[in-house]
Amino acid sequence: MLGIMSATDRDRRPAVTRGRRQLLPHQHGAWAFLVLPLLLGLCVAGWSVLLVPLAFAWIASYPFSWAVAASVSMPRPERYRDAVVLWGVVSAAAGLVVLLQRPWLVWVLLVYGAAFAVNLDFARRRSERAIANDLLLVAECSLVVPVAAGVLAGGDGWEPPWSAMSGSAVLVWTVVCVLTLVGSTLHVKSLIRERRDPRYTRASQAFAVASVPVAAALALVGGVPWWAVTVPLALLAGRALWLHDPTMRPGRLGMIELVCFVAVVAGGAAARLAG
């Protein structure tokens, strides 16, 4: 989960923290990227007490992976050792609770381990903000939707509960998660790090507009109410078209993105109630 900080680079590192040990990343918008797929998984699969340790393990994996990546890419790795230990213990302890109930998650861990190895390679080359790394991180986040659906639906053996993880509603909301996170990544980059490159602005706006009919078509095919996906994605398209202001402060930009994410979750909850 290291590179979410590049996909949501909405703040600046305070100078007063330089030289001190760090326990948390400064990219506050990254937390929304973590919570969105968990909540969408909850919307499609329903509540289970395992959501609590799953959420702790997943969310703690972000500062853990950030600290590991910083340890291999920054000049003073000792600043991040406490974070590696702290968040590694939290993530492992919470994850073990879920793993004992859902042993099939070991296969998921292998997939994420391979993906994180690629993230680390980007970090070693000091190119963790590359768009390719951002897209890999979007994929890592979005796959949490079917994983969470499988954990919440059941399956206590070594065989993943494929039917629960590949249902039409799960697939629709996984794609919606991808569209939301890619759109947010492009939009934020076009306003901060790549604000001088008009290609990012065009890509952000085109992607956001195209996402609406794509999601609507998938919803109709998958039996999900079309309005549950088109309304929040239309909101995202509107913010890409009419709220594209490079002078916007990062805090305000982050709040707008948070509202858009809440709208997506609201769409998932409404679809469950309607179904």
Dig out the tokens for 164 from the structure. Answer: 């629960």
Element (H, E) at 116: helix 105-124
Q: What is this structure's pTM?
A: 0.91
Give tens-digit pLDDT for 226-237. 999 999 999 999
Residue 82 belongs to a domain: yes
Residue 19 belongs to a domain: no
Residue 64 belongs to a domain: yes
Q: Which domain holds residue 117?
A: 4-12+24-274
Residue 192 belongs to a domain: yes
Give tens-digit pLDDT for 121-176. 999 888 888 999 999 999 999 999 999 999 998 878 999 999 999 999 999 999 99
Residue 17 belongs to a domain: no
Give tens-digit pLDDT for 148-161. 999 998 878 999 99
Q: What is the mean pLDDT of the chain?
A: 90
d(CA 233, CA 275): 20
* Res. 60 pLDDT band, cuts 50 70 90: very high
Residue 18 belongs to a domain: no
Question: Are the C-beta atoms of 157 and 104 separated by less than 8 Å?
Answer: yes
Residue 186 belongs to a domain: yes
Residue 59 belongs to a domain: yes
Number of domains in the chain: 1
Tell me which range, 1-10, 27-36, 68-77, 79-88, is most confidently predicted by mean pLDDT.
79-88
Helix axes 105-124, 81-101, angle to 10 degrees: 160
Task: Enumerate residues 6+ apart whose C-beta is below 8 A from 17.
Answer: 26
CA gyration radius, the chain? 18
d(CA 132, CA 121): 12
d(CA 40, CA 144): 9
d(CA 87, CA 189): 28
